[in-house]
Amino acid sequence: MLTTPCCALETVRYGSAGRRVRKTSVVITEPKLAVIITCFNYENFVGRAIQSVLDQGSDACEIVVIDDGSTDRSWSMIQQSGVPAFRIPNGGQRAACLYGLAKTRAPFLLFLDADDELLPGALARILPALDTNVAKLQFCLTCIDSGGAVLADPYPALDAFRGQDRVVNDILRSGVYRTPPTSGNVFRRDVCELLHQCEYDQAVDGVILLAAPFMGDVVSLAESLGLYRVHGRNDSGLGRVPQAATFERDLQRFQSRLAHLRSLLRNWRPEVSLIEPEKTYYFQFLAFCAATLRGTRYGGRPFLHLIGSVLTEPRPLKWKVANALFVTATFLAPVRGAQALLAFRFSLRRRPVRQIVRARLGAGQC
């Protein structure tokens, strides 16, 4: 179990006869990072998540586990680990993370999902990169299946950098930036306090992802420091056959998060202009996917707007060309062919272009 870092301090005083008297005291220092593991019905995985933190062997880290009202054997598995843990009524991820926030004291926090893990040496890489000017640190995650087999390259592909301006500009222009799922982020404590304002959102990796770059530096690490487990129950829907309802939910979340960020920026940066969600590529692409998966033919004018947003997105030319071609092919395909293309797009396993073309043609003939 990780403990609070401490060091022994020897002091010397002189007695009445002039003799030296040595006294050893213990000076307690605060941990630098808290790992908060939230769990709901992940009895098969939570033990691995806990052990992956304990195996880091870092005295600069505290760990707490919050069981969010699990109905399986999760609580029993958590208790066996011996780490500080609390069981609360089911209230969703945000409520569990806020409970953990109140039970920790470190200035930085990592919310580790109970089905994910840290890779060996992760904290040794993360901790030296944290200082008071850092609002958020992010790193790649390696996607694995329920048994631990690697499914794909580290996700997402991140550049190594430190700063604010490039991320702030991306958010103002497109409402998003490249960032990993929950377990691949470390936040400064004051950023996490914004979660108290997010009654509209049960997820924890919402507005704090967008607000952090306005509150300090973002440190981005290009290497994979964790495992993201894909098992069919992921909230993101990653690795599953895409569903219209998932995209519709994400559309609502995106609108609410940008509205929240806009209200924050009125006080923080009143001089900046944040894009309206409906004008972003992200919103338009989600709407396009939702319509396609519902079997609804997407209109010609919205399609042209989507292509325009692809071409103006702050991304490399190669990305723009590839996505413009993909959106066009999906738009022109028969409904079942378009749905097959989206299934390939959101699959974790990379497939050659010829396979995608075959899938489209085959689905179109059914």
Domain layout of the chain by residue ranges: 28-229, 244-365
- CATH no., domain 28-229: 3.90.550.10
CA separation (Å) from 155 to 36, 58, 191, 246, 348?
21, 25, 24, 20, 9
Long-range contacts: 291-300, Cβ < 8 Å, 24+?
Answer: 291/244, 292/330, 292/335, 292/338, 292/339, 292/342, 293/242, 293/243, 293/244, 293/247, 293/339, 293/342, 294/244, 295/335, 295/339, 297/335, 298/331
Q: What is the pLDDT of residue 231?
A: 76
d(CA 194, CA 192): 5
Q: Is the dihedral of CA 332, 280, 208, 159 positive or negative?
A: positive
Dihedral pair phi/psi, residue 273, rounded to 5°: -120, 120
Q: In the structure encoding, which two tokens stand for residue 285, read together? A: 């692409």
The pLDDT value recorded for residue 236 is 54
pLDDT of residue 239: 54
pTM for this model (two decimals): 0.85
Task: State phi, psi for 163 to the nearest 5 degrees.
Answer: 160, -175
How many other CB atoms are there within 10 angstroms of residue 55's CB atom?
Answer: 15
Q: Phi/psi of residue 315, each to 5°?
A: -130, 165
Q: Which two tokens stand for residue 311?
A: 């071409």
Q: Which residues of 203-301 form beta strands (DSSP E)?
A: 217-229
Contact 224, 140 (CB under 8 A): yes
Contact 140, 221 (CB under 8 A): yes
Q: What separation in angstroms does the CA of 278 have from each of 12, 65, 78, 101, 231?
A: 69, 38, 43, 33, 32
- Are 236 and 247 in contact by the 8 Å Cβ rule? The answer is no
Series of mean pLDDT values for 10-residue runs along the chain (366 residues): 39 42 48 97 96 96 97 96 96 96 97 97 97 98 92 89 96 95 97 96 93 98 96 59 90 96 96 96 96 92 96 92 96 94 78 37 34
The neighbouring-strand residues paired with 39 are: 67
> For residue 224, what are its two tokens?
């994979």
Q: How many other CB atoms are there within 10 angstroms of residue 355's CB atom?
A: 11
